[in-house]
């Protein structure tokens, strides 16, 4: 017990020092803070550029919430934000453990699950902490919101998901799922809370300014806009829109491209847009493979719910444009489920299938973490969008965990 407390204290001290160091480095939180100040100065925060060339992509409501950060130093504001991120991570670990009932694992399996999950997630967590990003917060709000809805606290869960969608539209993927699962109360309150968050800024900055900002924001976020179809403004962008643009357009306007061919075709922007949207629809429709019940039926259990939600969250960095590498933290619930499946099914899953899935996990890990393991060649990984392939590989891996794919019945019944 004394040794455990000592190690826990040592770990917390190391995290504290790490956060102090990171709070002193520049990151995107300074953009959010400055945008908040500009909002109250009457400026259009969506047409302004921050740190020379970056846009503010988040909501007006979020900018208002951040305004108190003007009264403390940037260092203090960033440190508080990073502390909140640590708490978000802690809560996500608890939520995932509760969904998967990892308490049923023995000590060795529980430790293995924790180590594998941390090793896979470490790069994404560090990227988000280092850049003071919003991804950890949005993923937490999504998971906690679904957790509350699943445990009967539907209004609280709806509020959290509405806030996540308002901050950045990414958790929109959860709305059709809630409707399909007949969570009508939660769905209705999400719409209500979201509408309120869109209207509340009127009482702070006025109707005209808010209306102008909403127009600029919609123009910036429009997925059909040319800059979101090609989606190559930065070399570090990774998503289906970026991947398909680099594969299917010969002279894609990528100012940071290496002089190495990567396209396999040369089609028009109109055809690219059509292929991109069809691909998005196919991936969204594939969620039915995981749901496997008629509409408005309840999920068979919480493990089913977690797998279904994990797939939807996995789609987030793939189907939305303008995704940086840190956004791929959204793949982690799916990764955790795959690890849970392999650890639980060891000795039960057919040997060939287990080996293929384990090999797939290793390949996906390498594709997602090459910049951490061998950062000297980052430009090449970004040029060929290796991270996106690593995330796409998780789709067949997660689909292989579905009942009816060859698992012996005594194990499949637990899923």
Per-residue confidence band for 54, with pLDDT thresholds at 50, 70 and 90? confident
For residues 128-143, give the mean pLDDT: 97
End-to-end CA distance of the chain: 35
- The answer to whether the CB of 415 falls within 8 A of the CB of 304 is yes
The residues with which 54 forms a beta bridge, in sequence order, are 50
For residues 355-359, give the mean pLDDT: 97
For residues 108-117, give the mean pLDDT: 95
Same domain for 71 and 36? yes
CA-based torsion, 313, 315, 320, 322: positive or negative: positive
Same domain for 94 and 240? no
Backbone angles phi, psi at 50, to 5 degrees: -115, 145
Q: Which of 194, 221, 248 is the last residue of a domain?
A: 221
SS3 for 138-201, per residue? HHHHHHHHHHHHHCCCHHHHHHHHHHHHHHCCHHHHHHHHHHHCCCHHHHHHHHHHHHHHHHCC
Residue 66 has pLDDT above 50, yes or no: yes
Same domain for 15 and 28? yes
What is the domain range of residue 76? Answer: 1-100+133-221
In a domain, 125, yes or no: no
In a domain, 250, yes or no: yes
Per-residue confidence band for 408, with pLDDT thresholds at 50, 70 and 90? very low
Helices (H) and strands (E) in the chain, counts: 21, 0
When computed from its CA atoms, the radius of gyration of the chain, rounded to whole angstroms, is: 22
Proportion of the chain above pLDDT 90, given as a percent: 80
From 210-214, 361-365, 401-405, the region with the lowest mean pLDDT: 401-405
Q: Which of 167, 196, 221 is the last residue of a domain?
A: 221
Q: How far apart are CA 224 and CA 273, in angstroms?
A: 8
Structural domain total, the chain:
2
For residues 380-384, give the mean pLDDT: 92
Per-residue confidence band for 32, with pLDDT thresholds at 50, 70 and 90? very high
In a domain, 116, yes or no: no
In a domain, 106, yes or no: no
- The answer to whether the CB of 272 falls within 8 A of the CB of 223 is no
Residue 74 has pLDDT above 90, yes or no: yes
From 17-21, 218-222, 271-275, 392-396, the region with the lowest mean pLDDT: 218-222
In a domain, 1, yes or no: yes
> How many C-alpha atoms does 239 have within 13 Å on its Cβ side?
27
In a domain, 276, yes or no: yes
Q: How far apart are CA 166 and CA 149, in angstroms?
A: 18
Tell me, what's the pLDDT at 414? 52
Same domain for 148 and 283? no
Residue 413 has pLDDT above 60, yes or no: no
Same domain for 38 and 151? yes
Tell me, what's the pLDDT at 8? 83
Same domain for 153 and 294? no
Same domain for 204 and 246? no
Q: How far apart are CA 209 and CA 213, in angstroms?
A: 6
For residues 252-268, give the mean pLDDT: 87
User: How far are the Cα atoms of 142, 174, 315, 323, 363 from residue 330, in angstroms, in the given order?
Assistant: 10, 13, 8, 11, 18
For residues 243-255, give the mean pLDDT: 87
Same domain for 233 and 215? no
Q: Which of 191, 221, 251 is the last residue of a domain?
A: 221
DSSP string spanning 319-385? HSSS--GGGGGGGHHHHHHHHHHHHHTTTTS-HHHHHHHHHHHHHHHHHHHHHHH-GGGHHHHHHTT
Residue 405 has pLDDT above 70, yes or no: no
From 8-22, 85-99, 272-286, the region with the lowest mean pLDDT: 8-22
Residue 356 has pLDDT above 80, yes or no: yes
Same domain for 203 and 227? no
From 60-69, 273-282, 308-317, 395-404, the region with the lowest mean pLDDT: 395-404
Helix (H, G, I), strand (E, B) or coil at 405: coil
pTM (2 d.p.): 0.94
- The answer to whether the CB of 178 falls within 8 A of the CB of 203 is no
Per-residue confidence band for 404, with pLDDT thresholds at 50, 70 and 90? low
The residue with greater pLDDT, 104 or 1, is 104
For residues 244-254, give the mean pLDDT: 88
Q: What's the chain's average pLDDT?
A: 92
From 3-12, 194-203, 360-369, the region with the lowest mean pLDDT: 3-12
In a domain, 397, yes or no: yes
The length of the chain in residues reads: 415
Largest CA distance in the chain: 66
Same domain for 340 and 263? yes
Same domain for 200 and 228? no
Per-residue confidence band for 410, with pLDDT thresholds at 50, 70 and 90? very low
Helix (H, G, I), strand (E, B) or coil at 94: helix
In a domain, 111, yes or no: no
Q: How far apart are CA 187 and CA 145, in angstroms?
A: 11
From 40-54, 158-172, 353-367, the region with the lowest mean pLDDT: 40-54
The label of the residue with tokens 């990567």 reads 262
User: How far are the Cα atoms of 98, 139, 162, 320 from residue 101, in angstroms, in the given order?
Assistant: 5, 20, 27, 31
Same domain for 55 and 25? yes
């Amino acid at each position: 017990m004394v040794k455990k407390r000592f190690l826990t204290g040592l770990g917390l001290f190391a995290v504290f020092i790490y956060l102090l160091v990171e709070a002193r480095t520049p990151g995107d939180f300074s953009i959010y803070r400055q945008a908040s100040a500009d909002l109250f100065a009457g400026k259009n925060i969506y047409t302004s550029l921050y740190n020379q060339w970056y846009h503010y992509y988040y909501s007006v409501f979020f900018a208002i919430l951040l305004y108190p950060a003007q009264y403390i130093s940037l260092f203090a504001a960033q440190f508080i934000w990073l502390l909140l991120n640590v708490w978000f991570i802690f809560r996500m670990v608890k939520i995932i453990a509760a969904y998967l009932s990892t308490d049923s694992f023995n000590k060795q399996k529980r430790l293995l699950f924790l180590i594998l999950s941390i090793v896979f997630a470490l790069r994404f967590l560090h990227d988000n902490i280092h850049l003071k990003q919003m991804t950890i917060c949005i993923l937490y709000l999504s998971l906690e919101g679904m957790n509350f809805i699943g445990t009967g606290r539907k209004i609280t869960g709806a509020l959290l998901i509405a806030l996540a969608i308002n901050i950045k539209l990414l958790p929109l993927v959860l709305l059709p799922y809630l409707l399909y699962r007949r969570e009508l109360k939660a769905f209705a309150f999400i719409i209500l809370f979201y509408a309120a968050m869109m209207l509340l800024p009127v009482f702070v900055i006025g109707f005209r300014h808010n209306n102008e900002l909403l127009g600029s924001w919609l123009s910036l976020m429009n997925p059909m806009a040319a800059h979101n179809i090609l989606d190559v403004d930065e070399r570090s962008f990774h998503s289906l829109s970026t991947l398909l643009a680099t594969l299917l357009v010969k002279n894609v306007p990528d100012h940071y491209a290496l002089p190495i061919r990567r396209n396999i075709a040369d089609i028009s922007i109109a055809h690219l847009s059509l292929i991109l949207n069809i691909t998005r629809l196919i991936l969204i429709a594939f969620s039915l493979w995981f749901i496997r019940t008629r509409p408005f039926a309840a999920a068979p259990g919480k493990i089913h719910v977690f797998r279904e939600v994990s797939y939807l969250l996995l789609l987030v960095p793939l189907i939305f444009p303008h995704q940086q590498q840190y956004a791929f933290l959204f793949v982690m619930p799916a990764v955790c489920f795959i690890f849970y499946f392999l650890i639980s099914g060891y000795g039960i899953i057919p040997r060939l299938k287990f080996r293929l899935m384990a090999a797939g996990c290793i390949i996906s890990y390498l594709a997602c973490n090459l910049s951490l393991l061998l950062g000297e060649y980052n430009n090449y990984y970004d040029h060929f969008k290796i991270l996106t392939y690593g995330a796409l590989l998780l789709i067949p891996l997660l689909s292989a965990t579905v009942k009816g794919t060859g698992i012996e019945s005594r194990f499949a019944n637990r899923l």
